[in-house]
Structure 1
Amino acid sequence: MPFTRISLRPGYSDAQITQISDILQHSLEAEFAVPPGDRFQIFEELPPRLRVFDPHYKSRGRSDNFIQFHILAGKPRSCEQKQNFCRLLCKRLQAVLDIHPNDVMVMIHFNTADDWSFSQGQLLSEEGL
């Protein structure tokens, strides 16, 4: 049940946004144990004045194509799952959209079933009751 906020520069076409979404989803399903159909993503296009980042911090050099993936997930994943996911995401973004791995930043946070309500005010933790 990950929820991902994707922050990127303006100018991507609708087709490119769809490709990023699909690459993210396929990578989550392949390496993060996410079931098909569990897709919750928000894309936010931010102008340069609202995107402040160091081009070299912990990177070999970010460009204006820098994309942040902020993932909130309901159950913890192993270090290996997180590594495999990040590597696959970067590999697919580069192969399909020529987005360099230096321009991809992933932040992962975890919470519990008590922190999710998918609809009708019912907590995910209540569904098993």
Structure 2
Amino acid sequence: MPMVRISLPRGHNRSYKQKLSQILQQSLASCFAVPTNDCFQLFDEYESENRVIHPTYLSPGRSDDYVLIQITAGRPRSSLQKQNLYQQLAEQCQQQLDLAPADLMVVICFNHAEDWSFSQGQIFTTEAL
């Protein structure tokens, strides 16, 4: 049940965002065992003056195409699952979107089932699955 925010520079077309969404969802399904229909993604586009990102901090160098993916998930994953997700996202974004691996940053946060209400003002329980 991940909730994902994707921050990117303003100006990418619908096709680019759809492809990024597909890559992300496929990666979550294969690396995090997320069901196919469990897809909640928000795209945030920013003008360059609203993106203050150090170009070389812990990176060989970021460009103006820098993309940040923030994932909030309800069930913790292992370090190996996280590494596999990071690697698959970087590879697929490079192959399918021509996004340099240095231009992709991923941040994952975990919480608990009771931190979610999917609708109707009801707390989420694992029995709902």
The answer to whether the superposition gives a TM-score over 0.5 is yes
Structure 1 equivalent of residue 21 of structure 2: 21
Instruction: Report deviation, 1:106.
Output: 0.3
Runs of 4+ in 1 over 4 A off after TM superposition: none
TM-score (norm 2): 0.97
User: What aligned pairs does 1:42-121 form with structure 2 within 5 A after superposition?
Assistant: 42-121=42-121
Cα distance per residue 1:27-64 (max 9 Å; x no partner)? 00010110110000000100011100000000000000
Matched, 1:8 2:5: no
Structure 1 equivalent of residue 37 of structure 2: 37
Question: How far apart, in 2, do the equivalents of 1:30 and 1:45 lie?
Answer: 27
Question: How far apart, in 1, do the equivalents of 2:27 and 2:60 lie?
Answer: 23
TM-score (norm 1): 0.97
Instruction: Report deviation, 1:11.
Output: 1.2
The alignment-based identity, stated in percent, is: 48
Q: Please, which runs of 5 or more residues in structure 1 have no aligned partner?
A: none
Aligned CA RMSD, in angstroms, stands at: 1.0
Instruction: Report deviation, 1:125.
Output: 2.3
Secondary structure at 1:119's aligned position in 2?
A: coil
Secondary structure at 1:123's aligned position in 2?
A: coil
Question: How far apart, in 1, do the equivalents of 2:42 and 2:86 lie?
Answer: 18
Question: How far apart, in 1, do the equivalents of 2:23 and 2:125 lie?
Answer: 29
Instruction: Report deviation, 1:73.
Output: 0.2
Over 3 Å counting, the alpha-carbon distance change for 1:40 and 1:88 in structure 2 is same
Cα distance per residue 1:46-91 (max 9 Å; x no partner)? 0011100000000000000000000000000000000000100010
Secondary structure at 2:125's aligned position in 1?
A: helix
Secondary structure at 2:6's aligned position in 1?
A: strand
Secondary structure at 1:62's aligned position in 2?
A: coil
Question: How far apart, in 1, do the equivalents of 2:112 and 2:125 lie?
Answer: 8
Amino acid at match of 2:68: Q
Q: Please, which runs of 5 or more residues in structure 2 have no aligned partner?
A: none
